Amino acid sequence: MNRTTLSLIAGVTALAAVTGFAAVNGPDAAGAGPVKAAAQLPVERTTLVCPAPSSSDIADTSYTSFTPVTKGADSAGKAQLQAATEESGTATGSTPGAGKGKGKGKTDGAKKKAPKPVLDPKAPGTPASGDTSGADAPALIGTAEGRFAPGWTMQATTQVAAGTGRGLLGVDCTAPDTEFWFPGASTAADRSDYVHLTNPDDSAAVVDIELYGKDGAVKSTVGEGITVAPHSSEPILLSTLADTPQQDLTVHVIVRSGRVGAAVQALDDKLGGDWLAASTDPAGSLVLPGIPKDATSVRLIAFTPADSDADLKVRLASPSGLITPAGHETVHIKGGMTTAVDLGDVTRGEAGSLVLTPSSQSVPVVAAVRVVRGRSGSQETAFIPATAPVETRATSTGNSAKGATLSLTAPTATAEVRVTASAGSGGGTAVSKTYTIKAGTTQDIAPPVPSGLKGTYALTVERLSGGPVYGSRTLTATKEGVPGFTVQNLPDDRGTVAVPQADQDLSILQR
């Protein structure tokens, strides 16, 4: 018997053994029953990245971290942070806030020693907080596993008393991705806008940055093929990517290889500054929740990546229902071009959310509003991009006993939500309260505060029933007489993932 015959016999014997095992352990021969719905199970690992908070020597930054208690999560796990301090040597990066086109530039490429973590999460259900000050705070890369992973949320809140971008700046640490849209950026003379790219992975990421103004794409090759080294962060000054100033821009970040976290830091010489988070993916209808009731100026910036134009109805979800702003009933957006519309004091002293819907054909759009509060000499700016709804649960961190407002809107149907204030980072007992948000309205809520609160706390919003709910949280604070505010959206935390039912399939042996 030759070697080929022996191999064939061995193969047939092995196949028979596999078939016999499957026959004993497989599903009934009569056929499968009804298909079972995928189970929703807690995620087991979450990665978040936080951009470097400020280059100002007088900046004070507070970090907060929180994981809601999730049924079915692992009993073990940990959450940890590391500084993204590796230099990549990209020529387009410069230090934000140090002057337009100037700054400290790049170092000789040597890695900096990672500082001690600014916070150390101990257990789900209790926030962790930490502080830092000055211009040397690095970008952070965080990883949560096991019981810390489902719904893990982090935020950096920075106060700057003077200089370009002074005021209160807040940014949610975000999950890395491969594409981002930022309507609302600018390269105007009074703005210093930086897009921060943070790479959490072990291999380099290659990124393209595209700019779109009122006349379409801004021609530039400088934003092509930007390399972000592993475990590093790059601030890119947007004015270095355009030959002429543009008042209103849409920034499109596309990752060719790898993945990054991205956020735009928008700093104004006179109007303060804040972080501009990415808009939700292009869609025909959008909701921009939580415009403060005392806003003195609201500017809508919108863009469609489609070749065709978009016509949108503009409505404001007020406390009493949907209304159409006089003189701003619709907005026309040309394909591939950024459109900006000044809506003035559209809220007129009441809480409000913008609801954009197609007036005819549905065309995908991204959008954000720039909100200004205060009067001349003491004005401050924040941005509210279009966001995704709270499908199950969303969380905001860094709340104190005073200065936090929760805005919830139900644009299409009445919804019931539960708002839970966690224990404080230094002590306190969690409390919950249920609210009904009527169809077409926005409700500003003074959120519940934990009893015996010490430190800061987290707010978790759970949709219990009814239509889709969109939300945001506004923080206000005054530092050395300078009033500030910042707004963060509340998209779903994606703390669970659908895991389909799997069965053994004998037919695979016949393919």
- Asked if pLDDT for residue 381 goes beyond 70, the answer is yes
476 belongs to a structural domain:
yes
Q: What percent of the chain has pLDDT over 90?
A: 74
Residue among 49, 232, 64 at smallest CA distance from 132: 64
- Asked if pLDDT for residue 479 goes beyond 90, the answer is no
pLDDT at 497: 85
Residue among 249, 251, 192 at smallest CA distance from 55: 192
Q: Confidence band (pLDDT; 50, 70, 90) for 110? A: very low
pLDDT at 116: 65
Torsion of CA 223, 228, 232, 238, to 10 degrees: 0
Q: Higher-confidence residue: 372 or 21?
A: 372
21 belongs to a structural domain:
no
Distance of CA 346 to the CA centre of its chain: 25
* Overall average pLDDT of the 295-317 stretch: 96
Q: Report the 10 Å Cβ neighbour count for 121.
A: 23
pTM: 0.86
What would the pLDDT profile of 38-71 be if each residue is shown by its tens digit?
778 999 999 999 999 999 999 999 999 999 999 9
86 belongs to a structural domain:
yes
Q: Higher-confidence residue: 82 or 363?
A: 363
504 belongs to a structural domain:
no
- Asked if pLDDT for residue 403 goes beyond 50, the answer is yes
- Please report the DSSP string for 4-44 in residue order: HHHHHHHHHHHHHHHHHHHHHHS--TT---SPPPPEEEE-S
- Asked if pLDDT for residue 264 goes beyond 60, the answer is yes
* Overall average pLDDT of the 13-30 stretch: 39
357 belongs to a structural domain:
no
Q: Which residues contact 213 (CB under 8 A, 6 or more apart)?
A: 242, 246, 248, 249, 337, 338
pLDDT at 113: 53
* Overall average pLDDT of the 167-196 stretch: 97
DSSP state of 365: B
324 belongs to a structural domain:
no
* Overall average pLDDT of the 465-493 stretch: 92
Q: Higher-confidence residue: 489 or 4?
A: 489
Q: Report the 10 Å Cβ neighbour count for 434.
A: 10
Number of H helices, E strands in the chain: 1, 37
- Asked if pLDDT for residue 13 goes beyond 80, the answer is no
pLDDT at 376: 76
- Asked if pLDDT for residue 19 goes beyond 60, the answer is no
What would the pLDDT profile of 137-159 be if each residue is shown by its tens digit?
999 999 999 999 999 999 999 99
Q: Confidence band (pLDDT; 50, 70, 90) for 108? A: very low
pLDDT at 46: 96
Q: Which residues contact 59 (CB under 8 A, 6 or more apart)?
A: 53, 133, 134, 135, 137, 158, 159, 160
Q: Which domain holds residue 143?
A: 42-280+387-497
* Overall average pLDDT of the 375-382 stretch: 86
* Overall average pLDDT of the 364-383 stretch: 92
* Overall average pLDDT of the 188-202 stretch: 97
Q: Higher-confidence residue: 7 or 135?
A: 135
Instruction: Tell me if 386 sits within 8 A of 302, measured CB to CB.
Output: no
Amino acid at position 480, single letter = E
pLDDT at 180: 98
> In angstroms, rounded to a whole number, what is the distance separating the alpha carbons of residues 166 and 151?
31
Q: Confidence band (pLDDT; 50, 70, 90) for 461? A: very high
- The side-by-side arrangement of strands in the sheet containing 441-445 is 441-445, 404-410, 470-479, 482-489
346 belongs to a structural domain:
no
- CA dihedral over 380, 278, 290, 70, signed as positive or negative: negative
pLDDT at 36: 64
Q: Confidence band (pLDDT; 50, 70, 90) for 98? A: very low
* Overall average pLDDT of the 109-122 stretch: 64
Number of domains in the chain: 1
What would the pLDDT profile of 432-443 be if each residue is shown by its tens digit?
999 999 999 999
> In angstroms, rounded to a whole number, what is the distance separating the alpha carbons of residues 3 and 308?
67
SS3 239: helix
- Asked if pLDDT for residue 346 goes beyond 60, the answer is yes
pLDDT at 38: 73
pLDDT at 221: 86
Specify which of 96-100, 113-117, 331-335, 374-378 reaches the highest per-range mean pLDDT: 331-335
Q: Confidence band (pLDDT; 50, 70, 90) for 407? A: very high
Q: Which stretches of 422-495 are assigned E, i.e. beta strand?
A: 427-429, 431-437, 441-445, 451-454, 457-466, 470-479, 482-489
pLDDT at 154: 96
Task: Give Rg (Cα) of the chain.
Answer: 25
Q: Confidence band (pLDDT; 50, 70, 90) for 478? A: confident
28 belongs to a structural domain:
no
Torsion of CA 291, 292, 294, 299, to 10 degrees: -30
